[in-house]
Structures are given as C-alpha cells and as structure tokens.
Structure 1
Amino acid sequence: MSFTFRPVDPVADAPLLHSWVSRPYARFWGMLSASVDDVVEEYSRIASSGHHQAFLGLDGGEPAFLMEQYQPGESPLADVYEVQPGDTGMHLLVAPPSGEPQPGFTTAVMQSVMTHLFEDPQTERVVVEPDARNHKIHVLNERVGFRPERVVTLPAVESMETHKEALLSFCTRADFLATLTPVLASATDPAGESR
C-alpha cells in the first residue's frame, strides 16, 4: 500500500465518485439518490468554497478513497462547539473493494489521512462528526486516536431526514502519534528528530 493524494476534479472524477457515494455502504455520506450531475455540483461547490477541499486518495496510482478537509469554523460545527485555532475537520469514504478485501487496509488509509493532515504544522487537532449510528467508523476513529466528545445535532445530509445526530470526536497530534508504532511515529512527527 502506497498512498498519495490529489485534489478532486469535480467533473472528471464525478462518475467514479458517484459509483462510490450512491452505494448502500455509503448511506451516511448522504448521496444515495444523487445523480452524476449532483456529484459534479457538490464537488464544484467544495472546490470553490475557499474553506473546504476534497482529495482523491490513490493506492499505487489507483483511486482508493475520498477525503475531505474543511475548516470547522466555516461549517455547521461552529454552532455546536467552540472551535479552537488549529482545528481541521475531516470526512473519509473508502472505495468499495475491487477484489478480495485486504486486512488492515482501512486502518492504513486512516493512518495515511491523519499523517497527511498533521503534515501541516498549523493542524493541532482533527475534528470529525460521523453519524452517531455509524458504528464502524467510530471503531476506526478510536483506533487512530480520536476521543468521542458527545452527540450533537447538525443539519441533515440526506433529504429524507430533518437533522443528523453526529458523534463529535477529536484527535490531537499526540493522541494520533500514540497509536502508531515507534518507527511509524518518528517518521510521521515533523518535530521528531531523524538520524
């Protein structure tokens, strides 16, 4: 597994992203009934926002996941917690496997995403707000150092719902590094000394 990131091209990547977000496993992404045009519109909006970015994660050059990074102070989160300097919001959607699932793949993706976010020295803490019913992502989040804060009410992401009950969780740089092996942690920590 060798992950790299590139910005989403809202038009060129829309068919691929649509094939991911419209599947039942991605129901918490809120785009099950979206068309390809809806995906183009959503990611064009994100690209032009100035405070929200979408990245395609590649594994050996092949699309493997979608990661969104955003400024919590410019999002609905600003109404439910006191945003701190250095907070960065994140959403993650791993692509459906094209063959046999690889054990540990999703954890490796999440570690790569967190490493990418913490490469920015301004990032002190990563904030997530997954649907409170999405137990699989809660387990994954805790595996990389997230600490659940509380359930908060946010605007709905799916048109069939009136609101979203989300588990607000935080991960500091130190909490993330504590989940890694010593070798991985020293390679990831920009403040760490190398030999």
Structure 2
Amino acid sequence: MPPTDASANAATATATDADACTARGPAEVPGTDCEDTLDLRLPDEFLALIANETVGAAAQQSGVASRTQAGAGNPAQAVGVDGSARDDLLDTVADWGPVATPVGLFHLVPVRPERDLPLIGGWMNAPAVAEYWELDGPQNRTEDHVRAQLAGDGRCVPCLGVLDGVPMSYWEIYRADLDPVARHYPARPHDTGIHLLIGAAADRGRGLGSALLRSVADLALDKRPACARVIAEPDVRNAPSVSAFLSAGFRFSAEIDLPDKRAALMIRDRSLRDLM
C-alpha cells in the first residue's frame, strides 16, 4: 500500500511536525480551486515510457537490463531496463548536491539497499510512521516497496535525507505527472511530488519537517527548470503535517480521495515561491 503521512498525535503535535507525506492511487476528484486547470495533453515522457515498455521487457528477458545504486560518498546514476539513465526523468537527483538550510547542511542521497534498508525498515516500524505508511512488520515489506522504486523507470527516486552528515529522514522524489495520481488531480507537465518521513522521534515536532520541506521543494524547482510546481498529498486527518506544508510555502489546493485516505493536495508554485 502506498505511503501516507505519519504523526503520533495529530491533536497535540506542533504545526511544524511533518513526519511523513503523501499517497498515490486511483480516486474520484472533487472540485479544485480555480487556479488549477486540467492539461489534457499527455506529457511526451509519458508517451515515450509507454512506447518503451516492450523494449524494456525484452531487455529484462535477455538479461541486458542493469542498474546501479548511488552511495553517499559517490553518487552513481542508475540505469533503466532500456539502457537509458533511469533518473533522467527527474534531472538526476543524485547530482542535486547538498543544500544549506536553516537547520543545517542537507543532502538527498539515493538509497543503496544493502546499506540503507535496515535503517529505513526500523523507521517504518515506529508507531507514528506505521499508522500512515503501513509498511511496518517484517523487513521484506519495506524492502519490497523500496526495491520496486529502485527497479522502476526513474519516475520515482527513493532517497535518504542526510542532515549535517547524519541520515535522519526518508524521501521519495517523483514525477507526479507520470504517476497514477495524475489521473486524479489537474496535473501539469513536470509536476514533481514529494513523500517524506522523519525517522527518529527526537527529530519530530521541532520544526525540522517544515524547514526541510521548503528547502527540498525549492531545490527541486532550482534543479528542474521545466517544473513549475511541487506537490504533496498529506492525509487530511494529519493537521500537523498539513500545517508543516503550509509553513513550508505550499498552498492548499483541494481535497482528493485516494484508495486509502482523503488527501490534502498541497502545491508549492515556482511563481509564488518568493511570496510564501
């Protein structure tokens, strides 16, 4: 089941406590605000992905497909089943580099399973996270989820969030306009989505979430010139998480129904980034 927001106590947590973010899947879309209009033209990348499915399947069967994971010290670009750069769809997240934030030097580092899965699996079993991400339990449950992202075509890149040299969060940076969720909100070409969980309980509730959300959203806008918006879909029940997105410069656009939750569609616009 796809991930959602996590908060141990939505009633008492602070407004800057962004513990985890967003889910994706089929839904009926309610009315949205007048600022968002539906673009019915399928992105070129989406059409290319469909065209390449047969090529990718043939490559897998012949054993040609290969990929590499990126390490913290020496990021490497992953290779998809068709031999193309897997994370080109997101302008090579591995090369985005560190960014100075109000809470320290932050770096998105693409996940390397052998090194990172035990840590991520432990975070997923924290009650505050498990309630919403629903990836708790045996290690293979988290592993299957993460490896599926890594084995994909590059529309989603799972990362560790490293703050001042310490891994402290899990992120999924994804192409929202190429994701199934695009069928259920007024997507625009190159929309970039964010999923986030803050790993340690000690790091929650002290403003890290909103500071990092703002910094990563702005990093995506800086590194992806074609992207005009960064989106997220926190659970509407998780008021602290929604508040954290608002504090991070996102605006509330609409409520959307996803298979396992009702979500708040949050948007950070390039055109408004200096005003919010």
Q: Hey, what's the Cα distance between the residues in 2 that align with 1:55 and 1:98?
A: 20
Cα deviations across residues 139-174 of structure 1 (Å, max 9, x unaligned)?
01111221112211112xxxxxxx221111211023
Q: Is the 8 A contact 2:191 2:230 kept in 1?
A: yes
Cα deviations across residues 82-120 of structure 1 (Å, max 9, x unaligned)?
210131111111121458x68432232222211221122
Q: Is the 8 A contact 1:146 1:175 kept in 2?
A: no
Q: Hey, what's the Cα distance between the residues in 1 that align with 2:137 and 2:274?
A: 37
Q: Is the 8 A contact 1:70 1:90 kept in 2?
A: yes
- Return the TM-score normalized by structure 2: 0.57
Q: Hey, what's the Cα distance between the residues in 1 that align with 2:125 and 2:207?
A: 24
1:15 aligns with 2:118: yes
**Residue aligned with 1:3, SS:** strand
Q: Is the 8 A contact 1:2 1:60 kept in 2?
A: yes
Structure 2 unpaired stretches of 5+:
1-103
**Cα offset for 1:66?**
1.2
| Identity percentage of aligned residues | 28
**Residue aligned with 1:115, SS:** helix
User: 2:269 is matched with which residue: 172, 175, 181?
Assistant: 172
Per the alignment, residue 46 of structure 1 pairs with 149
Q: Hey, what's the Cα distance between the residues in 1 that align with 2:138 and 2:111?
A: 17
Q: CA RMSD, aligned part only?
A: 1.9
Q: Hey, what's the Cα distance between the residues in 1 that align with 2:202 and 2:253?
A: 35
Cα deviations across residues 31-81 of structure 1 (Å, max 9, x unaligned)?
2x3321111111110012221111111011110111111112332312211
Per the alignment, residue 187 of structure 1 pairs with none
Q: Hey, what's the Cα distance between the residues in 1 that align with 2:122 and 2:115?
A: 13
User: 1:149 is matched with which residue: 253, 258, 267?
Assistant: 253
Per the alignment, residue 61 of structure 1 pairs with 165
**Higher RCO, 1 vs 2 (CA within 8 Å, ≥6 residues apart):** 2
Q: Hey, what's the Cα distance between the residues in 2 that align with 1:98 and 1:148?
A: 28
Structure 1 unpaired stretches of 5+:
156-162, 180-195
- C-alpha change, 1:11 and 1:104, in structure 2 (3 Å) is same
Q: Is the 8 A contact 1:68 1:92 kept in 2?
A: yes
Q: Hey, what's the Cα distance between the residues in 2 that align with 1:65 and 1:95?
A: 5
Cα deviations across residues 14-41 of structure 1 (Å, max 9, x unaligned)?
110011111111122222x332111111
Q: Hey, what's the Cα distance between the residues in 2 that align with 1:68 and 1:19?
A: 17
Per the alignment, residue 122 of structure 1 pairs with 226
User: 1:5 is matched with which residue: 104, 108, 117?
Assistant: 108
Q: Which has the larger radius of gyration?
A: 2
Normalized per residue, which structure has more strand? 1
Q: Hey, what's the Cα distance between the residues in 2 that align with 1:102 and 1:167?
A: 20
Per the alignment, residue 211 of structure 2 pairs with 108
